[in-house]
Structure 1
Amino acid sequence: MATNHPLSMKTPLGKCPVGLDQNKRNLVDEKKRVVVDQLRSLKRADADHLMTQLNALYFVYFEPAVTDLDALRLNETLDIEISRRYWLSLPPRPRHIIVVSANRRTPSILAQQPNADLSYYLKQIPHAKDDQSVWVIQPDRKVYTVNKDEWLDKRVFLAPGATVFLGLRDLPVLYKNLNQQIAHLLSHRLGP
């Protein structure tokens, strides 16, 4: 990873290049601004907790690229032409799960355990048993909503570095999609 690039961002991981396409970076910055503004307008302690956590995290635009050679061979349209400068960053494999909860001021970082599922990690978080659904953001940036019945009845496994989001409860109708917006914003989180 290049660390002397002029468009680098200081993060807990060191200096990370964040790309040259300012428009795409602006998409993520705008998404974060909209979410933070909505949280601020709620004027609730749990919304303030989430706002604090989101402001402490780093978000970047991820350019999706197909790396499956068989898929590329079968469908040429998946083989994108790269017209800008890009970097490939391969940080060490994380050995933790991150839990972002409206009930805490800071994200919880839990050591990943072999064969542990979502219910194992949720038992370690106060008030998690009260949530009817959570959002799981896997490291490949796919976002899943998991209902309480699902995580109690069947095992939901998390990849190393996954993020679990416990959203706001009892949202007004005007903010009914806010938890979903936050979960999708978390899919742009840069981190190990």
Structure 2
Amino acid sequence: MIVFIRHLSFILCVWMGYAGELAAENYSEHTETTSITLTEQNIVLNYDQAVRFSQVLGDTYSYTNNKIYPLGISLISPHKKNLVDQKKALVLDALKELNTVEANNLIAQLSDLNFVYREKIETDIEKVRLISRSNPMLRGQYQLFLSTRPDYIRIFSGDYEKSFTKPLKANYDLKDYVSDLPIFSDIHTQKTGNKKPKYHSAWVIQPNQDVYLANDIQWARTLYFLSPGAFIFIELADLPNKHSNLNTDIAHLLTYYMEP
């Protein structure tokens, strides 16, 4: 009987994995209740069992009169917050070790940002309903943030003392936004003779957490278009081997950024 139970448990675990369920780690395996806190509406949706993400989205839409921006919807797992905090701490420690003007500017930009564990999941309700692998079972505690469509993109760069936003412009691509960046901060103005920065590569972080590095953006024929609310991160140059992955780590950390 013990052997049978062990085999049955293994089969159930495999089945749950293929079903794409997002099980909350702070709940026991027998817990089926699910609660979803709508952060903007301050409403809690309670379910007495595991629930499909499509049902949660459908129920959620009925609690807002605003036009929801699907790419900006965030399914947040509060019990995984420590994972994001660890990523942030490692990034800040590496920047402190570099101790350059650019690194210190990024420390100032990243230190006070609100980072949460956003599940990487499809959030377009029609796609969720139609594609089974995009419609996981949820159990445990989650938060759901419903975004309206932003009219800006945000820039992060060690060449500036603060991150800042730029208005979203029709038909603009990454090269256009980068070419329109303002002059350096006062420290850099003294070093460069008031010249504008010239960037050849940048990270793009889309609001749905897609992230990629665009190279040779001044000359390449590839056009990189940004969705409303996207981030541009101008990577640090000439990193030592010890911190060769720091730009990648910063770009992926920004996928967890949540507007306060």
Name the counterpart of 1:13: none
1:64-103 to 2 correspondence within 5 Å?
Answer: 64-66=120-122, 67=125, 68=127, 69-72=129-132, 75=133, 78-103=134-159
Structure 2 CA distance for aligned equivalents of residues 118 and 39 of structure 1: 26
Alpha carbons of structure 1 residues 95 and 121: separation in structure 2 relative to 1, 3 Å: same
Distance in 1 (alpha carbons) for counterparts of 2:207 and 2:145: 13
TM-score w.r.t. length of structure 1: 0.82
SS of the equivalent of 2:107 reads helix
Paired position in structure 1 for 2:92: 36
**Given the superposition, is the C-alpha separation of residues 138 and 151 from structure 1 closer, same or farther in structure 2, using an over 3 Å criterion?**
farther
Match of 1:160 in 2: 228
Are positions 1:170 and 2:238 aligned together? yes
Aligned amino acid, residue 158 of structure 2: A
Give 1:169 deviation, angstroms.
0.8
Q: Which stretches in structure 2 are left out of the alignment for 5+ residues?
A: 1-39, 45-74, 184-195
More moved, 174-183 vs 56-65: 56-65
Tell me which residue corresponds to 1:188.
Answer: 256
Moved more, 78-87 or 117-126: 78-87
Identity of matched residues, %: 35
**Contact preservation (8 Å) 1:20, 1:84:** no
Larger C-alpha radius of gyration, 1 or 2? Answer: 2
8 A Cα contact 1:119 1:152, kept in partner: no
Given that 1:39 and 1:48 are in contact with CA atoms closer than 8 Å, whether structure 2 keeps it comes out as: yes
Residues in 1 aligned to 2:161 and 2:215: alpha-carbon distance in whole angstroms: 24
After superposition, the Cα gap between the structure-2 partners of 1:41 and 1:187, relative to the gap in structure 1 and judged at 3 Å, is same
Q: Which residue of 2 aligns with 1:105?
A: 161
The aligned amino acid for 1:132 is H
C-alpha separation between the residues in 2 aligned to 1:181 and 1:26?
Answer: 16
Q: CA RMSD in A?
A: 2.4
Check if 1:141 corresponds to 2:206.
Answer: no
Residue 156 of structure 1, CA deviation: 1.3
5+ unaligned residues in a row in structure 1: which ranges? 6-17
Structure 1: distance between partners of 2:145 and 2:81: 17
